[in-house]
């Protein structure tokens, strides 16, 4: 892999995962975090996965967000091949509503961690926020943007429920 200016790689097993994973991309955009989105299938493009994951650190990525559905081995395989932190997003599957994805990603045997988020959009957003929090440890500007993002979220919460909403 050539070098990248992106700090975060968002990888996903299929084009069909993009409807979920785009929420990670949009969250990183809102925080001003450079990112790159790639389709990397553990079973359909295993060589692409191997080349990506073994070269990700040298390419310049600092964190990987990996989303997959069904027998979702992409995050675990990526984590096995890179020293970078990997956050896994279980994509909601048609057959089992993402419970298969969740269990596939979360149940990593001890030794190779995948930080596993919630199924679907919430997981994609939170994976991006965790990636940003990791990067913010060594980036004061990003730390301030992350604080501002959280403050804006707090400010949007009304004190009382409304019939209009």
Binding residues for substrate: 14, 17, 44
CB of 72 or CB of 129, closer to ligand RP5:
72
- Cβ(21)–Cβ(37) under 8 Å? yes
Annotated binding residues: 14, 17, 44
Q: Minimum distance between the CB of residue 146 and ligand RP5, rounded to whole angstroms?
A: 28
What is the distance between the alpha carbons of residues 90 and 64, in angstroms, rounded to a whole number? Answer: 14
The CB-of-132 to ligand RP5 minimum distance in angstroms stands at: 23
Site residues (vs ligand RP5, CB under 6 A): 13-14, 16-17, 41, 68-70, 91
CB of 80 to ligand RP5, least distance (A): 17
């Amino acid at each position: 892999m050539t070098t990248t200016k992106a700090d975060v790689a968002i990888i996903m097993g299929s084009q069909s995962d993009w409807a979920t994973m785009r929420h990670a991309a949009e969250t990183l955009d809102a925080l001003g975090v450079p990112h790159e989105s790639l389709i990397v299938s553990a079973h359909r493009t295993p060589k692409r996965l191997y080349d990506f994951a073994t070269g990700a650190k040298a390419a310049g990525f600092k964190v990987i967000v990996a989303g997959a559905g069904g027998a979702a081995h992409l995050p675990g395989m990526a984590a096995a091949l890179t020293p970078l932190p990997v956050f896994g997003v279980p994509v909601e599957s048609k057959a089992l509503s993402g419970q298969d994805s969740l269990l596939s990603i979360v149940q990593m045997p001890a030794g190779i961690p995948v930080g596993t988020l919630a199924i679907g959009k919430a997981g994609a957003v939170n994976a991006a926020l965790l990636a940003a929090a990791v990067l913010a440890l060594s980036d004061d500007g990003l730390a301030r943007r992350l604080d501002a993002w959280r403050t804006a979220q707090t400010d949007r919460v009304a004190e009382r429920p409304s019939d209009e909403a």
